């Protein structure tokens, strides 16, 4: 809440602030919000930020999302990341990784120590004119015996894991989650979460996601006692216990019991109603029962503190030192309240920026709304109020005689609603919602209004229209949000519905991702942008009024879903991308499509017609894996995995595999899918490797494709005393039948010989388990990040019937699923689920079984081994050459090899990004540059590229025959600025409806403008560009610096990237990779 200046605080001089050094201590969500808002004002301030964690700011509110992403290795490119190092650098923000240890107010300096992480800065100090403390909070650990190691407590880092016994965790950062996952990997199976409030239930979600036996311990009589009354708490408890999470409310925790070696083995507690303590055996304790302000720096330097901790600040967010401010959880507003929620911190950041830029006292921050809506363990929970008195006076609990309430408890639906009204029933004072919070935004806004806006208390409580209500125009304008224009639609960021609509209209933010960029909507808890949130409703309604349809197509070129395009191609019998593009696409561009639609169309064509994927221009539609018939790895080399049907392989085949791997110096491994894999082959070596394997009787395992990977099997009745059927033979039959089948996503199958399930068939897309009478068929199981148990489809089937049902299931999936949608989510979206599939596949309820059978037979009739096609086709082999202008080859890998367990493989780090402007720009090419031979035009693919060797450096040259003359040949560097793999020439080329020619790198999908080399997704990553021409004899020529000059320039650029990252460069292009790599054949 802001108000005009009026304060009894000391009057410091009021004037607009000249550009100064602004230091932010703490790069969490609130610290970053402040930086973003200050940058938007373009005030000229020099901004530095001290970051204690090993990565820039990320979304801590959605921390449990990390268990799905598990992408800490991406550093500042996680899905939760708000920004990255390159973007901060480009914006002029100095990011310092270090832990602030002291503030020298007289010298205006903050000292910091190293954090010990790989990217931590050396200890030092940083000066400031203005210091903004955004240090947040730390997890409160109760003084219970066994929870803390007092002798190891760290005053400058209260959350230091070294201060806790082995097995006691807090829930605050990515590192906390990584530590919990490591404990589970090491064998932890039972966890207790201390705390049943907001933070505790978030932590409970974390251990639940880790598949642990979970217990929630709450000292109060019910869950979330700060926000909910007892009835609401009991409804929430029932819903959480339904998930097999044990809730212990009203407990007394006596001790965390440790083993002799200091590891957690249980918690001694007294259950509600008991008199004697019992031992709850757990091997993990997660403490999440509240937070305390990180105010140790303020105490050290003598700032005035709040009554309950935190830095006491005035309405300008200024501390007792006129040069030091505080925002977020560390700011004690008026010396009393530290807000622990996101939205208040964002509002404080906004107020502080206005006061810094426009002058102190421009606005006054007086407080924020404590209303909140969360989804806790899948349960919607909301609490809202007219003012803070709703919570501080516990108006929701009947403690205020001037407040009356109505309750609605739906025992069938498991929902609870309590609304509180003024004594005369004329005003909504607040409410609590459990199980169904869809009306939260509407009720929250109503609680801020002077009356009930034509409603009555009973109607609001029980969800019915008020008596005698006449049909009239909806207050929300018909968009279905239930919100007026001045109502908040994104409470985390403080955006009204009008703010978001303005971004949709004026900033062309026509998708949720574009809205996030345009106005930050949905970048907090994300609830408002979920499929059932208010913002998608507003977006669809606004676009409809603008005459624009909500995008449902696979990309800007195709306004249709994958299933719709599949049917169009099938019915019209279209066989090429060009014909698909001409028939279906909108806004046809010269390059024809983009990196999104090309692989999708290629997959559909493959699923329907199964033609060789590298012929007739289809190779330029494929992602690099399908284009090179092998899986690309982080260094730009490939892995080769032959098919091993059912896991059945003879010794001679094993010997042949080993001989080839040894000949080329490749790292070998038994893969997770029970197959043999060799890793580290250059693209030019692949045809020779394919031929050796094919000649030894092997064929492509298509591990590179969205296709059948493998059919796993146990030994079945062949060897096992428990075997009911010959599971190996059944697995071989299945794999031979479905190999080469292109689908929306990868397919995994298994066959177990008995109910002991050694092949884990119930975790596969298709699983078959032998019985005495035949086979039980399971469908729609998936492993991976979101495991799903397969559903039993049919029992005791004979082999032929089982295969028939699998045929139809796969063809139906291929025909109707979304791109990159596994069978489990596709199956879950089918109305009726497994029962519907039984009717369609067994009973032929849609009369399509004959069509599905025919589709399968057509696929089988055109089955072929793609490796064999390459091994014996010299024209196809040309597509695998390393360079277009020479038969010479060299080692392009950017990471050195290390020896481990008798083999060599690339070191485990990633090379740092090369950020900043491109080294060379074709428009600025000096006269002393030379034209070098880059191969023959006839050898170049249409709408694709090839690599060109220039000394030890590489270029990427692209042929785009459908473009304007000046854009038909384009050239860039071949090294990708993102992690330095030399693979740009293998990227997918596309063209946006705007006419921008795009290039997506084949490993990490970073995108670039192929004309200018400019980064699209990340403007800090840029490619050098070069002029291209074609002589009369068909020779392609590229104008480049002399080889030595170019080599030196790129080496210096790479060295700077390593130095900036604090890393040592250990590998240069073309250098030997050690004994095994040096023995590789040249192909």
pLDDT score recorded for residue 775: 96
* pTM for the structure as a whole: 0.55
pLDDT score recorded for residue 550: 60
Give every residue of the chain whose pLDDT is below 50, as ranges. 2-15, 469-472, 588-591, 1074-1083
Q: How far apart are CA 116 and CA 849, in angstroms?
A: 62
Cβ atoms of 391 and 398 within 8 Å: the answer is: no
Helices (H), 114-192: 174-185
pLDDT score recorded for residue 1075: 37
pLDDT digits (tens, 9 = 90+) for 824-880: 989 988 888 899 999 999 999 999 999 999 999 998 998 899 999 999 999 999 999
State how far Cα 895 lies from the chain centre: 26
pLDDT score recorded for residue 453: 83
pLDDT score recorded for residue 213: 92
pLDDT digits (tens, 9 = 90+) for 1033-1057: 999 999 999 999 999 999 999 999 8
Helices (H), 671-770: 686-695, 727-738
Question: What sign does the dihedral 237-240-246-252 (CA atoms) show?
Answer: negative
Helices (H), 845-975: 849-861, 866-871, 874-878
pLDDT score recorded for residue 749: 95
Closest CA relative to residue 599, chosen from 617, 575, 626: 626
Q: What is the longest distance spanned by two Cα atoms in the chain?
A: 97
Cross-strand partners of 279: 268
State how far Cα 723 lies from the chain centre: 42
Rg of the chain in Å (alpha carbons): 32
Q: Kindly tell me the burial class for residue 475, based on how many C-beta atoms sit within 10 Å of its own C-beta (0-12, 13-18, 19 or more).
A: middle
Closest CA relative to residue 52, chosen from 167, 134, 107: 134
Residue with tokens 């070098």: 932
Residue 632 sits at φ, ψ, to 5 deg, of -75, 145
Residue 64 sits at φ, ψ, to 5 deg, of -65, -20
Closest CA relative to residue 589, chosen from 962, 863, 309: 962
CA angle, 351 as apex, 349 and 354 as ends, to 5°?
110
Residue 527 sits at φ, ψ, to 5 deg, of -65, -35
pLDDT score recorded for residue 473: 52
């Amino acid at each position: 809440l802001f108000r005009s200046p009026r304060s009894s605080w000391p009057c410091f001089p009021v004037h607009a602030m000249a550009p100064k050094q602004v230091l932010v201590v703490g790069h969490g969500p609130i610290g970053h919000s402040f930086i973003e808002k200050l940058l938007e004002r373009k005030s000229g301030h020099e901004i530095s930020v001290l970051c204690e964690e090993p990565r820039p700011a990320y979304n801590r509110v959605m921390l449990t999302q990390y268990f799905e992403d598990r992408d800490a290795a991406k550093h500042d490119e996680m899905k939760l990341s708000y920004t990255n190092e390159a973007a901060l650098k480009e914006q002029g923000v100095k990011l310092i990784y270090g832990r602030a240890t002291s503030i020298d107010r007289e010298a205006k300096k903050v000292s910091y120590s190293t954090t010990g992480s790989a990217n931590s800065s050396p200890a030092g100090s940083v000066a400031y004119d203005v210091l903004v403390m955004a240090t947040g909070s730390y997890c409160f650990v109760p003084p219970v015996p066994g929870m803390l190691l007092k002798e190891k407590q760290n005053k400058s880092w209260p959350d230091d894991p070294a201060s806790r016994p082995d097995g006691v965790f807090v829930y605050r950062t990515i590192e906390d989650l990584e530590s919990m996952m490591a404990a589970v990997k090491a064998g932890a199976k039972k966890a207790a979460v201390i705390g049943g409030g907001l933070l505790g239930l978030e932590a409970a979600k974390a251990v639940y996601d880790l598949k642990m036996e979970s217990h929630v311990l709450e000292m109060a009589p019910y869950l979330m006692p700060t926000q909910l009354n007892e009835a609401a708490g009991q409804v929430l408890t029932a819903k959480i216990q339904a998930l097999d999470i044990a809730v212990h409310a009203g407990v007394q925790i006596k001790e965390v019991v440790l083993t002799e070696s200091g590891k957690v083995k249980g918690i001694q507690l007294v259950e509600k109603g008991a008199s004697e303590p019992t031992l709850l055996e757990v091997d993990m304790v997660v403490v999440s029962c509240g937070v305390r302000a990180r105010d140790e720096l303020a105490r050290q330097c003598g700032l005035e503190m709040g009554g309950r901790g935190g830095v006491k600040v005035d309405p300008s967010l200024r501390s007792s030192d006129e040069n030091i401010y505080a925002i977020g959880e560390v700011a004690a507003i008026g010396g009393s309240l530290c807000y622990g929620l996101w939205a208040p911190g964002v509002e404080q950041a906004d107020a502080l920026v206005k006061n810094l830029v426009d002058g102190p006292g421009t606005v006054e921050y007086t407080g924020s709304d404590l209303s909140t809506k969360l989804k806790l363990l899948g349960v919607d929970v909301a609490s809202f109020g007219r003012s803070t008195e709703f919570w501080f006076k516990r108006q929701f609990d009947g403690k205020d005689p001037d407040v009356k309430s109505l309750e609605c408890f739906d025992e069938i639906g498991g929902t609870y609603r309590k609304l509180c009204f003024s004594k005369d029933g004329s005003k909504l004072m607040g409410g609590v919602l459990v199980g169904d919070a869809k009306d939260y935004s509407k009720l929250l806004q109503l609680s801020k209004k002077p009356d009930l806006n034509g409603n009555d208390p009973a109607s609001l409580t029980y969800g019915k229209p008020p008596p005698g209500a006449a049909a009239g125009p909806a207050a929300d304008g018909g968009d279905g949000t239930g919100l007026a224009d001045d109502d908040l639609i994104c409470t985390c960021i403080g955006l009204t519905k009008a703010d978001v609509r303005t971004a949709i209209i004026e900033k062309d933010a026509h998708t949720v991702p574009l809205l996030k960029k345009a106005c930050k909507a949905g970048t907090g808890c994300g609830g408002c942008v979920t499929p059932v949130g208010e913002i998608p409703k507003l977006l669809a309604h606004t676009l409809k009024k603008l005459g624009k349809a909500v995008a449902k197509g696979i990309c800007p070129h195709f306004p249709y879903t994958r299933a719709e395009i599949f049917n169009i191609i099938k019915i019209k019998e279209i066989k090429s991308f060009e014909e698909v593009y001409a028939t279906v696409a909108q806004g046809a561009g010269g390059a024809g499509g983009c990196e999104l639609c090309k692989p999708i169309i290629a997959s559909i064509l493959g699923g329907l017609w199964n033609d060789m994927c590298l012929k007739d221009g289809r190779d330029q539609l494929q992602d690099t894996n399908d284009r090179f018939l092998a899986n690309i790895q982080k260094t730009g080399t490939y892995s080769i995995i032959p098919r091993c049907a059912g896991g059945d392989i003879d010794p001679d085949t094993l010997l042949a595999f080993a001989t080839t791997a040894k000949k080329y110096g490749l790292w070998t491994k038994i893969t997770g899918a029970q197959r043999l894999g060799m890793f580290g082959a250059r693209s030019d070596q692949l045809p020779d490797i394919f031929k050796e394997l094919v000649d030894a009787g092997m064929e492509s395992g298509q591990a590179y494709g969205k296709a059948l990977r493998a059919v796993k099997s146990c030994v079945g009745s062949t060897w096992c005393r428990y075997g009911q059927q010959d599971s190996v033979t059944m697995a071989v039959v299945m794999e031979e039948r479905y190999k080469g089948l292109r689908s929306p996503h990868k397919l995994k199958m298994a066959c177990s010989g008995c109910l002991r399930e050694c092949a884990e068939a119930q975790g596969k897309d298709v699983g078959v388990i032998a019985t005495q009478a035949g086979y039980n068929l399971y469908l729609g199981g998936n492993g991976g990040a979101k495991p799903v148990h397969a559903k039993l489809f049919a029992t005791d089937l004979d082999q032929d019937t089982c295969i028939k049902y699998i045929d139809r299931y796969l063809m139906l999936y291929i025909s109707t699923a979304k791109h990159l949608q596994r069978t489990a989510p596709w199956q879950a979206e089918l109305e009726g689920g497994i029962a519907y599939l039984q009717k369609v596949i067994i009973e032929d309820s849609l009369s399509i079984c004959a069509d599905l059978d025919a589709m399968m037979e057509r696929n089988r009739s055109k089955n072929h081994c793609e490796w064999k096609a390459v091994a014996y086709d010299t024209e196809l082999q040309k597509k695998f050459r390393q360079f277009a202008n020479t038969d010479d080859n060299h080692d392009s890998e950017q990471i050195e090899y290390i020896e481990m367990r008798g083999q060599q493989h690339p070191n485990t780090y990633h090379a740092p990004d090369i950020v900043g402007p491109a080294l060379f720009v074709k428009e600025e090419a000096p006269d002393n540059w030379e034209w070098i031979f880059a191969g023959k035009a006839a050898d170049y693919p249409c709408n694709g590229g090839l690599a060109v060797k220039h000394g030890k450096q590489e270029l990427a040259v692209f042929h785009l025959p459908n473009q304007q003359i000046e854009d038909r040949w384009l050239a860039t560097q071949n090294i990708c600025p993102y992690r330095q793999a030399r693979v740009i020439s293998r990227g997918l080329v596309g063209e946006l409806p705007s006419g921008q020619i795009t290039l997506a790198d084949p490993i990490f999908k970073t995108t670039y403008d192929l004309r200018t080399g400019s980064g699209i997704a990340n403007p800090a990553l840029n490619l050098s560009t070069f002029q291209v021409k074609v002589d009369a004899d068909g020779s392609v020529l590229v104008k480049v610096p002399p080889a030595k000059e170019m080599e030196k320039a790129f080496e210096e650029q790479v060295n700077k990237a390593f130095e900036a990252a604090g890393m040592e460069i250990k590998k240069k292009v073309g250098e030997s990779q050690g004994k095994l790599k040096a023995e590789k054949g040249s192909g």
